[in-house]
Amino acid sequence: MTADAPDSLDVPSPVSWPRRVADLVLRPPVEADLDGVLRWRRLPEVTRWLLRTEVDEVAMRDRLRGPRDPHDHSCVVLLGDDPVGMGYLEVVDGMGQDGESAYRRTEGLLGWNLAPQVWGRGYGTMVARELVAIAFGELRLRRVTAGCFAHNAASWKVMEKVGMRREQHGVRDSWHAELGWVDGFTYAMLRDEWDGVAGR
Ligand SMILES: CC(C)(COP(=O)(O)OP(=O)(O)OC[C@H]1O[C@@H](n2cnc3c(N)ncnc32)[C@H](O)[C@@H]1OP(=O)(O)O)[C@@H](O)C(=O)NCCC(=O)NCCS
């Protein structure tokens, strides 16, 4: 991403897809993934700690069909031919950056959802680690962040396992459809912290 790159919906992705991680393949989603994703994305155990508990099929189809926002580097996670997860990576402005100039964006917002049948195999950690690698590698971002409900231990453990720091514990700052106002966590990582992660 360069300072004078055009802000167009048609710029090719700077990320080289597909990415292989153990027996998973990560690649940009396509419309044909919709049915496979919807098989698990609406399950109550998946939506329990998500901000978006409802899935609008038409909106999701449109999103998968494209054109893709050049700042959206989200991916589908395949196990064999099965879309068993989604990884999210959106490039945004850091605090105080000039929102008028899209190519000053230096932060990545991360997220992940997996189908319950593949939970507990380390896949969540693998997907998160790959998103962080894309953010600091090809996208050359300065910082990544991710948020979750404090109750969502599976998600914040994933963040800690990839080396992100808990930067904020928001006391009753997050609205949960069933529980009302509950605590939320924000995690972050800087590029130099990623460079220093052991074993890299
Ligand atoms: C969050 C999610 C992606 C984690 O995926 P996963 O593949 O099960 O994660 P991993 O196997 O890499 O496990 C990561 C860590 O979390 C722990 N963990 C997993 N599920 C847990 C749970 N329900 N409670 C507490 N810890 C849990 C694992 O034991 C592991 O820690 P350990 O290595 O110290 O044992 C998955 O649970 C999910 O998709 N949940 C529903 C959607 C969601 O909440 N997305 C995140 C929104 S912020």
Across 31-40, 99-108, 112-121, 179-188, least confident range? 99-108
| Ligand 1 and 154: CB distance under 6 A | yes
In Å, how far from its chain's centre is CA 182? 22
- What's the mean pLDDT in 117-134? 98
On average, the pLDDT of the chain sits at 90
Report helix, strand or coil for 122.
Answer: coil
pLDDT at 197: 78
pLDDT at 9: 40
- What's the mean pLDDT in 167-193? 96
- What's the mean pLDDT in 152-169? 98
Which string of DSSP letters, residue by residue, matches 152-200? Answer: -HHHHHHHHHTT-EEEEEEEEEEEETTTEEEEEEEEEEEHHHHHTSTT-
- What's the mean pLDDT in 79-84? 97
Q: What is the distance between the alpha carbons of residues 80 and 27, in angstroms, rounded to a whole number?
A: 13
**Residues 185, 148 contacting (CB under 8 angstroms):** yes
pLDDT at 163: 96
Q: Which of 155, 186, 187 to mutate to test the pocket of ligand 1 (most atoms within 8 A of CB)?
A: 155
pLDDT at 11: 52
Full set of structural domains in the chain with CATH? 19-195 (3.40.630.30)
State the distance from the centre of ligand 1 to the C-alpha of 67, rounded, in angstroms: 31
Say if residue 54 is exposed, middle or buried (CB neighbours under 10 Å; 0-12, 13-18, 19+).
exposed
Quick check: 12 pLDDT over 70?
Answer: no
State the distance from the centre of ligand 1 to the C-alpha of 153, rounded, in angstroms: 7
- What's the mean pLDDT in 96-122? 87
State the distance from the centre of ligand 1 to the C-alpha of 148, rounded, in angstroms: 12
| Ligand 1 and 184: CB distance under 6 A | no
Specify the higher pLDDT residue, 51 or 23: 23
State the distance from the centre of ligand 1 to the C-alpha of 69, rounded, in angstroms: 28
Joined together, the tokens standing for residue 190 give: 């800087």
pLDDT at 96: 83
| Ligand 1 atom nearest to 46, measured from its CA | 41
Report residue 103's pLDDT band, with 50, 70 and 90 as the boundaries: low
| Ligand 1 atom nearest to 121, measured from its CA | 11
Report residue 10's pLDDT band, with 50, 70 and 90 as the boundaries: very low
Handedness of CA 93, 87, 75, 122 (dihedral sign): positive
Nearest residue (by CA) to ligand 1, atom 41, is 46
Report residue 67's pLDDT band, with 50, 70 and 90 as the boundaries: confident
- What's the mean pLDDT in 94-120? 86
